[in-house]
Structures are given as C-alpha cells and as structure tokens.
Amino acid sequence: MDAWIERPELAQLIATRVAQRPVVVLTGIRQVGKRALLRHLFPSHRYLTLDLPSLAEAAEAHRISC
Ligand SMILES: Nc1ncnc2c1ncn2[C@@H]1O[C@H](COP(=O)(O)OP(=O)(O)OP(=O)(O)O)[C@@H](O)[C@H]1O
Ligand SMILES: [Mg+2]
C-alpha cells in the first residue's frame, strides 16, 4: 500500500466549514483524494456513494436517510 499523504491545511479548512454549515461540498478533479480525505477525517460517519444509479435514484426519491 502507498504511503498516506497528510493534508493538514485542507483538513483544517474542512473541519472549520463543517462546524459552520449543515452541508459542505468538496469538489475537485478526478482522483485527487476527495473521498479518501473525507473518510480519513470522519471515520465513524456513514458513507454513501451516489455513483451507483440505484442509490442516486433512491436519494432523489428520499428513500435513504443519512
Ligand atoms: N492522502 C492520500 N495519500 C495517499 N494516497 C491517497 C491519498 N488520498 C487518496 N489517495 C489515493 O488516491 C486514489 C484516489 O483517491 P480517491 O478515490 O479518494 O479520489 P477522488 O478524488 O474521490 O476520486 P474521483 O474523482 O474519481 O471520485 C486512491 O487510490 C487513494 O488510495
Ligand atoms: Mg470520489
């Protein structure tokens, strides 16, 4: 497994925003580590990917809760 690269400035910014807002959007180009960083920062949070069309449809229809 490759070594984990720490991103302290981003981690701090996300922690600040999460404390301020009910929803925070993290966007960026492909494969830069968005999901990995969020999973690292919030290991006990539920994780859902809407990459799966069936889950995206369920979310739109309010059939899943977070
Ligand atoms: N901080 C990190 N240190 C080392 N490797 C990392 C780090 N963050 C991500 N990676 C690796 O980079 C790859 C892409 O990570 P990830 O899936 O989190 O990116 P993403 O931005 O969510 O991608 P996509 O845009 O395709 O959804 C994975 O193989 C992951 O293990
Ligand atoms: Mg991703």
User: What pLDDT, in 10s, does the model give residues 30-63?
Assistant: 999 999 999 999 999 999 888 899 999 998 998 8
Q: Tell whether pTM > 0.75.
A: yes
To test ligand 1's pocket by mutation, which of 1, 6, 7, 31 has the most ligand atoms within 8 angstroms of CB? 31
Q: Where would I find the H helices in the chain? A: 8-20, 34-41, 53-60
| CA angle at 48 for the pair 12 and 30, rounded to the nearest 5° | 65
Return the domain boundaries, the chain.
8-60
Ligand 1 mutation pick, 32, 38, 41, 42, max ligand atoms within 8 A of CB: 32
